[in-house]
């Protein structure tokens, strides 16, 4: 995520997802926003916090085999700019979603839980922690 243009690409990607969801005629605007938020957070959770190891062979003799992508980012250094970007972007999406859903309580619960699933694993205290041994090996 340090390469040029990645941040813009990421934002455009999320925007594209939202436009696709908006263009489905069954969804009203708040539902589309909540769906964007939830799908984005779900994708982020799966790719950054659920899948472990690397999809290709690395010369580190398997050191990162048990680490998720988030833990491998920037070799474990916390609070780098990529990590900050990844933490802030779901928060921004949450703000936009809650604005467009007019602060409706059901949407609120959905959006907040999905935001929490994506924000809590990013805390540095949770680096390498596997709750209840899920996803440990």
- Applying CB under 8 A, the residues found at the interface with another protein are 22, 25, 28-29, 32, 57, 61-63, 65-66, 76-80, 84, 87-88, 91, 94-95, 98-100, 102-103, 105, 108, 112, 124, 127, 133, 136-137
At residue 83, the 3 state secondary structure works out as helix
Report the C-alpha dihedral over residues 29, 6, 114, 49, rounded to 10 degrees.
160
| Residue with Cβ nearer another protein (4 or 102) | 102
Task: Please report how close the Cβ of residue 127 comes to another protein at its closest, in angstroms.
Answer: 6
| Residue with Cβ nearer another protein (5 or 105) | 105
Closest C-alpha among 52, 77, 75 to residue 130? 52
| Residue with Cβ nearer another protein (12 or 109) | 109
Task: Please report how close the Cβ of residue 6 comes to another protein at its closest, in angstroms.
Answer: 18
Q: In the numeric block, which tokens belong to residue 4? A: 């040029």
- Whole-angstrom distance, CA of residue 42 vs CA of residue 114: 8
């Amino acid at each position: 995520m340090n390469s040029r243009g990645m941040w813009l690409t990421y934002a455009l990607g999320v925007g594209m997802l939202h436009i696709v969801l908006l263009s489905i005629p069954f969804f009203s605007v708040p539902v589309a926003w909540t769906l964007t938020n939830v799908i984005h957070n779900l994708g982020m959770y799966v790719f950054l916090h659920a899948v472990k190891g690397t999809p290709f062979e690395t010369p580190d003799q398997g050191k990162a085999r048990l680490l998720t992508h988030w833990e491998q980012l920037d070799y474990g250094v916390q609070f780098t700019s990529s990590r900050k970007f990844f933490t802030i972007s779901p928060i921004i999406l949450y703000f936009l979603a809650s604005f467009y859903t007019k602060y409706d309580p059901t949407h609120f619960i959905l959006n907040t839980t999905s935001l929490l699933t994506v924000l809590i694993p990013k805390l540095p205290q949770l680096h390498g922690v596997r709750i209840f041994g899920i996803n440990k090996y």
